[in-house]
Chain A
Amino acid sequence: MALLEVDRIHAFYGHIHAVKGVSLQVDQGEIVTLIGSNGAGKSTTLKTISGIIRPRQGRVLLAGEEISRLPPHTIVARGVGQAPEGRRIFPRMTVLENLEMGAFHRADRGDITADLERVFTLFPRLRERRTQAGGTLSGGEQQMLAIGRALMARPRILLLDEPSMGLAPVLVEQIFAIIQDINRQGTTILIVEQNALMALSVTQRGYVLQTGEVVLEGSAANLRQNELVRKAYLGESS
Chain B
Amino acid sequence: MFSPEILAQVFIFGLANGTVIALIALGYTLVYGIVELINFAHGDVFMIGAMLALTLVGALGLTTGAPGTMLALELLGILLACMVFCAVLNVAIERFAYRPLRKAPRLAPFISAIGVSFMLVNVGLFWKGPSPRLFPHLLPSVDLVQATLGTPVSVAFTTKDLFVILLTAPLMVALHLFVGRTRLGKAMRATAQDREAAAMMGIDVNRTIALAFLLGGALAGAGGFIAGLYNNQVHFFMGFRAGLMSFTAAVLGGIGNIIGAVLGGLLIGIISSYSDFYLDPRWTQVVVFGILIVLMIFRPAGLLGESTPDRA
Contacts and interface: CB of A to CB of B under 8 A. Distances in A.
B183 A104 contact: yes
A84 B200 contact: yes
Contact of B196 (A52, A77, A137): A52
Interface stretch (A4-12, A92-100, A188-196, A209-217): A92-100
A73 B196 CA distance: 10
A105 B204 CA distance: 9
A101 B308 contact: no
Interface of A: 50-52, 71-73, 76-77, 82, 84, 86, 88-93, 97, 100-102, 104-105, 135-139, 142, 149, 153
Contacts, number: 82
Contact of B201 (A92, A136, A138, A149): A149
A76 B200 contact: yes
B189 A92 contact: yes
B187 A135 contact: no
A91 B193 contact: yes
Contacts of A139: 312
Given A90-B190, A92-B189, A135-B311, A104 B202 contact: yes
A135 B309 contact: yes
Interface of B: 183, 186-187, 189-190, 193-194, 196-205, 306, 308-312
Nearest to A98: B190
A102 B201 CA distance: 5
A105 B190 contact: no
A51 B205 CA distance: 13
B203 A88 contact: no
B310 A72 contact: no
Contacts of A136: 312
Interface of A is mostly: loop
Given A88-B194, A97-B189, A138-B312, 4 more contacts: A71-B199, A101-B198, A142-B312, A153-B202
Contact of A135 (B196, B197, B203, B308): B308
A100 B203 CA distance: 12
A89 B201 CA distance: 11
A137 B312 contact: yes
Given A88-B194, A91-B311, A73 B183 contact: no
B120 to A, nearest CB: 31
Contacts of A51: 199
The interface centre, meaning the residue of A86, A135, A138, A142 with most chain B CB atoms within 10 A of its CB, is A135
Contacts of A93: 186, 189-190, 193
Contacts of A86: 311
B312 A77 contact: no
Contact of B312 (A72, A91, A102, A149): A91
**Most central of B193, B197, B199, B205 by chain A CB within 10 Å:** B197
A90 B202 contact: no
Contacts of B312: 91, 135-139, 142
Given A104-B187, A135-B310, A135-B312, A88 B197 contact: yes
A236 B106 CA distance: 47
Contacts of B197: 84, 88-90
Given A93-B189, A136-B312, A105 B196 contact: no
A89 B310 CA distance: 9
Given A88-B194, A93-B189, A104 B200 contact: no
Nearest to B199: A72
A210 B201 CA distance: 29
B201 A153 contact: yes
Contacts of A105: 202
A101 B306 contact: no
Contacts of B204: 71, 73
Contacts of B201: 76, 101-102, 104, 149, 153
Nearest to A91: B310
Smallest CB-CB A-B distances: 8 pairs:
A76-B202, A105-B202, A88-B197, A72-B199, A90-B193, A73-B204, A104-B202, A101-B201
Contacts of B196: 52, 84, 88
